[in-house]
């Protein structure tokens, strides 16, 4: 893909940084509670996970202006009720229960919101075929 007047050839998100106060604690959460594959850890205190081809990087904020909650990440799951139940059993703190957001032409969009070990707001989403 070549750069054009309307773009530079971006094809996908390659990596998303997620702030962590305690990277080891956060890495355990993302690996054990969410079941994401740990790719590697690197000094000083970085952890990288694969999320469907997008790399998630856990890192401590280097400067005060970067020390804020991450953007809300919406993790797609095929069975939101099953994922919610399994995560709740493992001690994940949810803000709500899975609920219908919108009826789309071919599916229903469901979501539920939860907090990671660092207090970041995250979500599960599921497109349920009708």
- What lies within 8 Å, CB to CB, of 98 at 6+ separation is 80, 81, 84, 110, 111, 112, 124, 126
Condensed to tens digits (0 to 9), the pLDDT of residues 50-94 reads 999 999 999 999 899 989 988 999 999 999 999 999 999 999 999
Whole-model pTM over 0.85: yes
* Structural domain includes residue 9: no
Averaged pLDDT score across all residues of the chain: 93
Q: Is residue 31 part of a domain?
A: yes
Supply 86's token pair. Answer: 């399994």
- CATH code of the domain containing 84: 3.10.180.10
Number of domains within the chain: 1
Is the residue at 78 inside a domain? yes
User: Is 8 within a domain?
Assistant: no
Question: CA 31 to CA 58: how far, in whole Å?
Answer: 12
Question: Do the domain assignments include residue 3?
Answer: no
Q: Element (H or E) spanning 85, and its range?
A: helix 80-89
Domain that holds residue 118: 15-129
């Amino acid at each position: 893909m070549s750069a054009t007047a309307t773009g530079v050839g971006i094809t996908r998100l390659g990596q998303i940084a997620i702030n962590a106060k305690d990277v080891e604690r956060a890495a355990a959460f993302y690996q054990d509670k969410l079941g994401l594959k740990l790719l590697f850890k690197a000094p000083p205190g970085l952890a990288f996970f694969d999320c469907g081809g997008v790399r998630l990087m856990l890192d401590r904020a280097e400067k005060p202006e970067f020390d804020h909650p991450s953007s809300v990440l919406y993790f797609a799951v095929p069975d939101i009720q099953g994922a919610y139940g399994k995560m709740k059993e493992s001690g994940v703190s949810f803000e709500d229960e899975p609920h219908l957001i919108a009826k789309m032409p071919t599916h229903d969009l469901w979501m539920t919101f939860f907090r990671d070990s660092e207090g970041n707001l995250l979500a599960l989403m599921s497109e349920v075929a009708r």
